[in-house]
């Protein structure tokens, strides 16, 4: 078993909001759920949004294309929600990455087959649980039945201990995924490619899965912005919710050099 995540640096109450002006030659790496979109009862309920679409178009122009979405969702799902507006995308926590040279995918780990059957059976036993199969990972969402949290986490931890899969706990979801990549490595890979080469990374996310992205951004000369409630984190700044993120990004466009 491998557990995802990095050692934290900041105490929960340390974080101010980010400066309006982005760093010179900034590159934005944005999570989706809880960051660009609200957390919905069912993941498939998140869809295209006119306000978000216009903002992403404006950001891409202002940053000369240095914009990427880095999410736990599958690539096809991200393209559906974002209407194909963002070319640079890291999906399934970095296990799938679409950059300037096309799409890179790791091979699914054989241990996923057994985990898939167990989690699917658990979802069948409780109609409030949502099973999600991303090909390279499997997840069980319990946001509709919070009382099932302990049982779900215990089951997934037990599967992780008996396999080589990465255990990933998120916002009301427990996930087992193929090892080998994470959001931080995806950020580093983008920064080795055009148009991101030489950019200052700014990573914005809400979940524990985003801690690797925060750490990579700090290591590579930028910073992270945590979205949501205070918690120990490697981010440098914090915003309250996705609406605050959209407002901040809108303001940042107007501060960008012409």
Catalytic site residues? 31
DSSP state string for 135-167: SSEEEEE-TT-GGGHHHHHHHHHHHHHTSSPEE
Q: Select from 109, 95, 119 the least CA-distant residue to 183.
A: 95
59 is written with which tokens?
């950001």
Closest CA to 228 of 19, 6, 31: 31
């Amino acid at each position: 078993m491998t557990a995802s995540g990095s050692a934290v640096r900041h105490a929960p109450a340390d974080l101010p909001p980010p400066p309006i002006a982005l760093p010179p030659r900034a590159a934005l790496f944005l999570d989706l759920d809880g960051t660009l979109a609200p957390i919905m009862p069912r993941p498939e309920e998140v869809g295209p949004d006119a306000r978000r679409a216009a903002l992403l178009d404006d950001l891409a122009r202002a940053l000369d294309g240095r914009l990427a979405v880095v999410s736990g969702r599958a690539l096809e799902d991200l393209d559906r929600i974002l209407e194909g507006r963002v070319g640079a995308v890291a999906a399934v926590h970095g296990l799938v990455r679409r950059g300037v040279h096309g799409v890179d995918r790791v091979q699914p780990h054989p241990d996923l087959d057994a985990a898939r059957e167990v989690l699917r059976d658990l979802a069948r036993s409780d109609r409030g649980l949502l099973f999600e199969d991303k090909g390279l990972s499997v997840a069980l969402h319990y946001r509709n039945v919070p009382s099932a949290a302990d049982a779900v986490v215990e089951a997934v931890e037990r599967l992780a201990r008996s396999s080589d899969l990465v255990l990933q706990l998120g916002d009301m979801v427990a996930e087992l995924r193929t090892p080998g990549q994470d959001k931080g490595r995806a950020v580093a890979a983008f920064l080795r490619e055009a148009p991101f080469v030489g950019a200052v990374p700014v990573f914005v996310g809400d979940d524990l899965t985003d801690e690797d992205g925060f750490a990579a951004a700090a290591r590579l000369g930028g910073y992270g912005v945590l979205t949501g409630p205070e918690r120990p984190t490697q981010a440098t700044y914090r915003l309250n919710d996705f609406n605050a993120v959209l407002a901040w990004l809108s303001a940042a466009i107007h501060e960008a050099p012409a």
